[in-house]
Structure 1
Amino acid sequence: MKKIFLLLTISIFAALLVACGNGGSEEAVTDDSEESEETAENAENEETEEAGGTISIAASPAPHAEILEEAATVLEEEGIELDISIVNDYTTPNRLLADEEVDANYFQHTPYLETEKESHDYDITSAGNVHIEPMAVYSQDYDSLEDLPDGSTILVSNNPAEEGRFLSFFVDAGLVEIEDGIDIEDATFDDITSNEKNFEFDNQTAPELLVSMYENNEAPAVIINSNFALDGGLSPTEDSIVVEDGNSPYANLVAVRTGDEEREDIQKLMEVLQGEEIKQFIEENYEGAVIPTE
């Protein structure tokens, strides 16, 4: 009996040890499983944050902000939200970008960007072109550049990067000549060598004020950027006396801080802005007043 009792005691003790051991193993397996699930969940969250998140972007009201609003509906499906700040001047957006108050801006073309970088030592760059806004000349009283009387004042914006662009209308019409060897994109008013009708180019006005000056008939002719014209209810193709064609080198771009053009969300933004949906939106809504880049 003693031997039997001893054997039973040993068996029960062994069973208890096995049971305790199994319990510990189950607990360890459970802990490991929970840690694995947590790690996978964290990785998934990090991946989502990397691919998605919010892009803050400063833009002119029209057409830039309108195009961005359309792009936002597409980007939302990718988990990317656009936080659009409307800025109605040409100096604030690059400062906001350089000061890291926004992630990007959308309002300018390459010549202006290069001028701003040189003037302010901004470390910003283009993430890609989106559209062209053909600039146009408007007049209340005359139907063509040739009809403008001798000595006419031509109101233009105070943007020095676009002086060659303003002059191109008159050079193409044979009314003004510039110094040989200077590309029209780089030309300034100082490069004029012939101006037979003695046109005076008045560049003292902020671009956002030119629409009201045209409406008030303050000069025989006013050259207006299409974004301000559209915002003021003017159609560059219908209301102007001459408009740039689609070969203009002044494509509007999205600018970011240098290096951020490699960000996944910025690349996705550009993919959408340069995609077929946005091209179709531009063509259908602006009827030639805004032209998508190729």
Structure 2
Amino acid sequence: MKKLTAWTLILALVLVLAACGKSTSGNAANQTLTVGASAVPHAEILKKAIPLLKKKGIDLKVKVFQDYVLPNKALTSKQLDANYFQHIPYLDLYNKQHNTDLVNAGKIHIEPFGIYSKKYKDVSSIKDGATVQISNNKAEQGRILLLLQTKGLVKIKSGIDPVAATLDQKNGKYKDFDNIKHLKFLQPIDPAILPKAYQHSAADLFAINTNFALQANLDPKKDALILEGASSPYANIIAVRKGDQNKKAIKELVNVLHSKTIQDFITKHYKGAVLPVSE
């Protein structure tokens, strides 16, 4: 009886150790990485990366968001391991406003920002005092002003960082730029509804983020009156909590998104409306 009991204990111990070893190995080989993203193009790009990351032992879960606030809140509260929807100027502004320390883990792509119009087919036809509908994303104001400046509609003042330029006024005049064409900037609205406003609003010009333009079946290369170039400082990034940029799974994610497979997908699928970045 004692001999049987001893063998039973040994067998139980062996089974427990085997189970522990299997569990540890399984977790290491199948690490789950949850990334929040805008629907287009971010989530679409991430979904193409799923099988590539699977081969590296990482199960990528993509959580889609429809706004620009919740993905950073979810990342800060550790509901996400990373997010993919924003550019560095927006991240910097968010950190400043919310006292957070989210960081850039890698630039992935550029979405050339566009100015759209149903009224004008040529920039030279834009009349003095034309109305411009923009989003309530203040981090985009410098970007919009840069676009308008390329066509001589405004002129950012000397000494002003274009990326940090705003529509703020002092004594009834814009502080950061000269409004050459006397453009009238309308009350900012949520960026997600800009394409709908473009279809139904009477404004002359609409500054629309490419991800929302694509969701509304707009073709930036064909439909935009003014379109940003590839040298834009507004590359979309993988954002993580400070320190997590050094984690192996995050580095693998960024490496896969920089791979030829993913870059070729971005180039072919979006036909220039989204441009890959490999730095």
Is the TM-score greater than 0.5?
yes
Specify the alignment match of 1:235 in structure 2: 219
C-alpha spacing 1:36/1:266, structure 2 compared with 1 (3 Å): farther
Q: Do the aligned residues in 2 keep the contact of 1:132 with 1:251 (CA within 8 Å)?
A: yes
Matched position secondary structure for 2:134? strand
Specify the alignment match of 2:118 in structure 1: 140
Q: Do the aligned residues in 2 keep the contact of 1:156 with 1:203 (CA within 8 Å)?
A: yes
In 2, Cα distance between equivalents of 1:157 and 1:125: 24
Pairing partner for 1:67 from 30, 45, 63: 45
Q: Do the aligned residues in 2 keep the contact of 1:211 with 1:228 (CA within 8 Å)?
A: yes
Matched position secondary structure for 1:237? helix
Aligned-pair Cα RMSD in Å? 2.5
Q: Deviations over 1:141-181 (max 9, x none)?
A: 10233322111111111111111100011212122112211
Specify the alignment match of 2:182 in structure 1: 198
Seq. identity, %: 39
* Correspondences of 1:95-110 after superposition (within 5 Å): 95-110=73-88
Name the TM-score, length of structure 2 as normaliser: 0.88
In 1, Cα distance between equivalents of 2:126 and 2:152: 13
Matched position secondary structure for 2:224? coil
* Correspondences of 1:87-236 after superposition (within 5 Å): 87-190=65-168, 191-236=175-220
The answer to which structure has the higher helix fraction is 1
Q: Do the aligned residues in 2 keep the contact of 1:158 with 1:206 (CA within 8 Å)?
A: yes
Q: Which amino acid aligns with 2:41?
A: P
Answering whether residue 244 of structure 2 is matched by residue 268 of structure 1, we say no
Pick which of 240-249 and 41-50 moved more: 41-50
Pairing partner for 1:80 from 39, 58, 67: 58
Deviation at 1:133, TM superposition (A): 0.4
Deviation at 1:220, TM superposition (A): 0.6
Specify the alignment match of 1:4 in structure 2: none
Q: Do the aligned residues in 1 keep the contact of 2:160 with 2:176 (CA within 8 Å)?
A: no
Unaligned residue ranges in structure 1 (runs of 5+): 1-27
Answering whether residue 254 of structure 2 is matched by residue 254 of structure 1, we say no
C-alpha spacing 1:36/1:263, structure 2 compared with 1 (3 Å): farther
In 1, Cα distance between equivalents of 2:249 and 2:140: 31
Unaligned residue ranges in structure 2 (runs of 5+): 1-5, 169-174
In 1, Cα distance between equivalents of 2:76 and 2:184: 36
Name the TM-score, length of structure 1 as normaliser: 0.84
In 2, Cα distance between equivalents of 1:130 and 1:177: 30
Rg larger for? 1
Q: Which amino acid aligns with 2:141?
A: E
